[in-house]
Amino acid sequence: MKKHLAMILALALTLSLAACGSGQSSEASVPPSQGGQQDDQQTFSVGFICPEATNEGWQVTAAAIENTAEELGIKISKLYLDPNDYEGSFSMAVDSFIQQKVDALIYGGADESFAASVHKAQDEGIKCVEIDNPSNSGNLWHIAIDSYSAAAVAGEWMADKLDAGVVLMINGDMARTNAQQRHDGFVETLKELRSDIEVYEIYADWDSAKAIAGVEDAITLYGDKIVGVFSAWDGGALSAVSALDVAGLSDNVVVCGFDGTPTSMTYIREGKLQAELGQPLYELGKVGMETVNTVLTGGQVDEEQLLTCSIVTSDNVEDFIKSAGLADFIS
Could you tell me the CATH number of the domain that includes residue 174?
3.40.50.2300
* DSSP structural state of residue 22: S
pLDDT tens digits, 163-205: 999 999 999 999 999 999 999 999 999 999 999 999 999 999 9
- Residue of 186, 179, 195, 197 lying closest to 157 (CA atoms): 186
User: Is 296 part of a structural domain of the chain?
Assistant: no
Rounded Cα–Cα distance for residues 278 and 147 (Å): 11
| pLDDT tens per residue, range 123-161 | 999 999 999 988 888 889 999 999 999 999 999 999 999
Residues contacting 208, CB < 8 A, separation 6+: 4, 5, 235, 236, 238, 239
Domain range enclosing 247: 147-278
Residues 6+ apart with CB under 8 A from 44: 32, 36, 37, 74, 75, 103, 104, 292, 293, 296
Does residue 203 belong to any structural domain of this protein?
yes
Tens-level pLDDT at each residue, the chain (331 residues): 433 333 333 333 333 333 333 333 333 333 333 333 444 567 999 999 999 888 899 999 999 999 999 999 999 999 999 988 989 999 999 999 999 999 999 999 898 899 999 999 999 999 999 999 888 888 899 999 999 999 999 999 999 999 999 999 999 999 999 999 999 999 999 999 999 999 999 999 999 999 999 999 999 999 999 999 999 999 999 999 999 999 999 999 999 999 999 999 999 999 999 999 999 999 999 999 999 999 999 999 999 999 999 999 999 999 999 999 999 999 7
Structural domain includes residue 100: no
Q: From the CB of residue 31, how many other CB atoms can be counted at a distance below 10 Å?
A: 11
Q: At 256, phi and psi to the nearest 5?
A: -125, 130
Residue 112 lies in a domain: no
Q: What is the pTM of this model?
A: 0.84
Domain-located, residue 269: yes
- Sort strands 165-171 and 141-145 into parallel, antiparallel or unpaired: unpaired
Structural domain contains residue 152? yes
User: Of 237, 234, 236, which is closest to residue 261 (Cα–Cα)?
Assistant: 234
Count structural domains, the chain. 1
Is residue 241, in this structure, part of any structural domain at all?
yes
- CA–CA separation, 207 and 89 (whole Å): 20
